[in-house]
Structure 1
Amino acid sequence: MRRGPDVRKSAAPEAAGVAHRGMACAPGPVRRRCAEEPDSLMTVELTLRGRQKMVVRDSVLDAALSLFSEVGYQKATMQAIATKAGIGIATLFRHFKTKASVLADLVRRDLEELFSESQTLLDDPPEDPKAGITAFCLLMVTILDKRSKSIRLKPTLWPATSTGRAETDEVVRYADAELRRQLTALVKYYQKNGTISDAFKAPELAAIIFYVYNSYYVEFNFGLIKTRAQLSKKVRESVGVLFESWT
């Protein structure tokens, strides 16, 4: 199997598990065996705190998603989110300073899931660059199917455009940067294979693809493109036109 472009970032200790000098440490009785490994114990404790933080985060996001769907974003309060999540208001504010930051993290969670799916495509891309880039763009459209779709302020438009709020605009920047990063890696992969001309700089080609995708995404959300089938057709046609001068 071909190996696609590796654009994954190094896994954090929380995700990779804990290893220290060849010995893994864990809480409970195993801590005694780690008595001579203070650094390892500290890492275990940090890992556990990180996991506990993620559990609370997901609990809050699930509760907020349910509440936003029930009463709407504007009517939901931080106290109601805390109550639904089964935590105190002080605990909630330790994790999220504002309701907008809860909304932002809901969308970020969906984006992280989406970019993990697109990484799978990057790990083993189709041989045909047109097919690969078209598949990537159409995969990005599935953000519309994610959990946060029903509660966004402008149901599906952001994170394609600025919102005017620091918390949510940070998510817009994250989505923009990660999409461009993955597209650039995909273009470089095809240039290395000789299926896209290396006369062009990969980031510039990726920027053009991004512009085309983003334009159609916005049009679809404004109802100018009526169906997913029409959206898919336009993306395929545009990528085909681009490749007439790239190959």
Structure 2
Amino acid sequence: MANAKMDRTVGSCSVTRERILDTAIGLFSTKGYAGATTREIARQAGVAEVTLFRHFASKEKLFEAVISHYSALPGLKSLLPKALELPYEEALNRMADLLLDTLIQLKDWIRIMHAEVLHSPDKLMGIFHSFLDEIFDFFASYFRELQKRGELRDFDPEMAARVFHSMFYCFFNMEELLGRKHHRATDRNKAVKEFVTLFIHGILARPWSFADGNV
């Protein structure tokens, strides 16, 4: 009986902590670290401010918890084995879609990083670049494996990963963070297919090499 009561208490604490984190990320995203108060976070989370401080010793600790909590990329990592079994173009389309879904899911977190990284470079730069490195490593691992199989030519897989990521990060930034979709909407499926095609085939009408001397 005592164990069941303890389990319920632990579960309730976990739910409360998640509710505080979910509320905090929204307020930090819209109001910034300085503008979001623990009183307002607690009120919107439906808890007393003293309860918030039981879970997080200070506003700074809450902010650090938000940054750490929402930086994981499990969905992206789990796609790699499946992607390696798909035709190349289809795999890139699937990975691009999942990357965009992931970025949209983390939109508030990314907005916070954009806004706050210059104010706390020592604290946030490492976290943000670790997040980017995980994405780069995912795509680089995919390109590297296809190179081992002889399906792709020799190139720097990490540079290719950064190029591929940059196309879709820019699209996400324009559409979601800067709100372009509300003024001049772009069909996402069409954009993904077009970007992938450009990545694979480039824009020249025929293959070109440096030996040609000119285009």
Q: What is the TM-score with the length of structure 2 in the denominator?
A: 0.64
1:66 deviation in Å? 3.4
Amino acid of the structure 1 residue aligned with 2:180: L
Contact 1:159 1:171 in 2 (8 A): no
Q: Describe the superposition over 1:7-54 as per-residue Cα deviations: whole angstroms up to 9, x where unpaired.
A: xxxxxxxxxxxxxxxxxxxxxxxxxxxxxxxxxxxxxxxxxxxxx8xx
The aligned residue for residue 188 of structure 2 is 231
CA–CA distance in 2 between the matches of 1:158 and 1:89?
Answer: 21
Q: Describe the superposition over 1:167-196 as per-residue Cα deviations: whole angstroms up to 9, x where unpaired.
A: 444442122111001010111122223322
5+ long unaligned stretches in structure 1: 1-51
Amino acid of the structure 2 residue aligned with 1:184: A
Contact 2:103 2:172 in 1 (8 A): no
CA–CA distance in 1 between the matches of 2:114 and 2:193?
Answer: 20
Secondary structure at 2:118's aligned position in 1? coil
**Is 1:183 aligned to residue 142 of structure 2?**
no
CA–CA distance in 1 between the matches of 2:196 and 2:147?
Answer: 16
**Is 1:243 aligned to residue 200 of structure 2?**
yes
5+ long unaligned stretches in structure 2: 1-9, 208-215
| 1:118 aligns with one of 48, 51, 76 | 76
1:200 deviation in Å? 0.9
**Is 1:200 aligned to residue 155 of structure 2?**
yes
Contact 2:100 2:172 in 1 (8 A): yes
Residue 80 and residue 200 in structure 1: after superposition, are their counterparts in 2 closer, same or farther (change >3 A)? closer
Further displaced range: 205-214 or 99-108: 99-108
Residue 186 and residue 162 in structure 1: after superposition, are their counterparts in 2 closer, same or farther (change >3 A)? farther
| 2:87 aligns with one of 128, 136, 139 | 128
1:77 deviation in Å? 0.6
**Is 1:92 aligned to residue 92 of structure 2?**
no
The aligned residue for residue 37 of structure 2 is 76
CA–CA distance in 1 between the matches of 2:96 and 2:199?
Answer: 14
CA–CA distance in 2 between the matches of 1:189 and 1:176?
Answer: 20
CA–CA distance in 1 between the matches of 2:132 and 2:196?
Answer: 19
Amino acid of the structure 1 residue aligned with 2:118: G
Amino acid of the structure 1 residue aligned with 2:102: I
What is the number of residues matched between the two proteins?
Answer: 182
Q: Pick the structure with more helix per residue.
A: 2
Q: Describe the superposition over 1:36-91 as per-residue Cα deviations: whole angstroms up to 9, x where unpaired.
A: xxxxxxxxxxxxxxxx8xx9677424223236658975343179649838847265
1:116 deviation in Å? 1.4
Further displaced range: 201-210 or 78-87: 78-87
Contact 1:100 1:168 in 2 (8 A): no
Residue 188 and residue 182 in structure 1: after superposition, are their counterparts in 2 closer, same or farther (change >3 A)? same
**Is 1:212 aligned to residue 167 of structure 2?**
yes
CA–CA distance in 1 between the matches of 2:104 and 2:163?
Answer: 25
CA–CA distance in 1 between the matches of 2:41 and 2:197?
Answer: 50
Amino acid of the structure 2 residue aligned with 1:121: L
Q: What is the TM-score with the length of structure 1 in the denominator?
A: 0.57
